[in-house]
Amino acid sequence: MKAEILAVGSELLDPLRRETNGAYITGRLRSVGVDVFARITVADDASWLEQAFRQALSRADVVIATGGLGPTSDDLTREAAARAAGRALHRDPGLLEALRERFARFGRVMAPVNAQQADLIEGAVSLPNARGSAPGQYLDQGGRLLFLLPGPPGEMQPMFDAQVLPIVRERAGGRALVTRVLKIASMGESDVEQIVAPLYKTYENPRTTILGGAGQTELHLTGEGASEEEAAARVEELASGIHGLLPGRIFSDDGRDLAEVVAALLSGRGKTLALAESCTGGLVAARLTAVPGSSAFFDRAYVTYSNQAKADLLGVDPQIIERHGAVSEETARAMAEGARRAAGTDLAVAITGIAGPTGATEDKPVGLVFLALAGDGVDRVRRAQFPGERDRVRAQAAQAALEMIRRAVLGLAPV
Q: Is the dihedral of CA 287, 290, 291, 294 positive or negative?
A: positive
Q: Which does 253 bind (CB under 5 to 8 A by kind): Mg ion, ligand ATP, none?
A: none
Least separation in angstroms between CB 80 and ligand ATP: 13
The letter for the amino acid at 180 is R
Tell me if 27 contacts ligand ATP by CB under 6 A: no
Kindly identify the residues of this chain, within the stretch 138-167, that bind ligand ATP according to CB under 6 A. Answer: 150-153
Exposure string over 115-138, b if 16+ CB within 10 A, otherwise e: ebbbbbbeebebbebeebbbbbbb
**Nearer of residues 72 and 194 to Mg ion, judged by Cβ:** 72
**Nearer of residues 70 and 338 to Mg ion, judged by Cβ:** 70
Separation CA 376–CA 165 (nearest Å): 52
Would you give the end-to-end CA distance of the chain in angstroms?
44
Specify the pairing of strand 176-184 against strand 216-225. antiparallel
Cα Rg of the chain (Å, integer)? 27
Least separation in angstroms between CB 220 and ligand ATP: 23
How many residues comprise the chain? 415
Tell me if 21 contacts ligand ATP by CB under 6 A: yes
CA distance readout (Å), 358 to 50, 353, 365, 367: 52, 12, 10, 11
Q: Say whether 377 sits in a helix, a strand or coil.
A: coil
Of the residues 53, 66, 81, 380, which one makes contact with ligand ATP according to CB under 6 A = 66
Number of residue whose CB is nearest ligand ATP: 70
Contacts 24+ apart (CB under 8 A), 43-49: 43/9, 43/10, 43/13, 44/8, 44/9, 44/10, 44/68, 44/74, 44/75, 44/76, 45/10, 45/76, 46/76, 46/79, 46/80, 49/6, 49/8, 49/76, 49/77, 49/80, 49/81
Interface characters, 64-103, with Mg ion (x: CB under 5 A): ------x---------------------------------
Whose CA is closest to 395, among 348, 355, 335, 358? Answer: 355
Q: Which does 146 bind (CB under 5 to 8 A by kind): Mg ion, ligand ATP, none?
A: none
Tell me if 225 contacts ligand ATP by CB under 6 A: no
**Nearer of residues 66 and 345 to Mg ion, judged by Cβ:** 66
Least separation in angstroms between CB 17 and Mg ion: 12
CB 118 within 8 A of CB 95: yes
Number of residue whose CB is nearest Mg ion: 70
Least separation in angstroms between CB 99 and ligand ATP: 11
**Nearer of residues 134 and 145 to ligand ATP, judged by Cβ:** 134
Q: Which does 315 bind (CB under 5 to 8 A by kind): ligand ATP, Mg ion, none?
A: none
**Nearer of residues 15 and 198 to ligand ATP, judged by Cβ:** 15
Tell me if 133 contacts ligand ATP by CB under 6 A: yes
Tell me if 40 contacts ligand ATP by CB under 6 A: no
Binding residues for Mg ion, total number by CB under 5 A: 1
The contact set with ligand ATP (CB under 6 A) reads 7-9, 11-12, 19-21, 66-70, 75, 132-134, 150-153
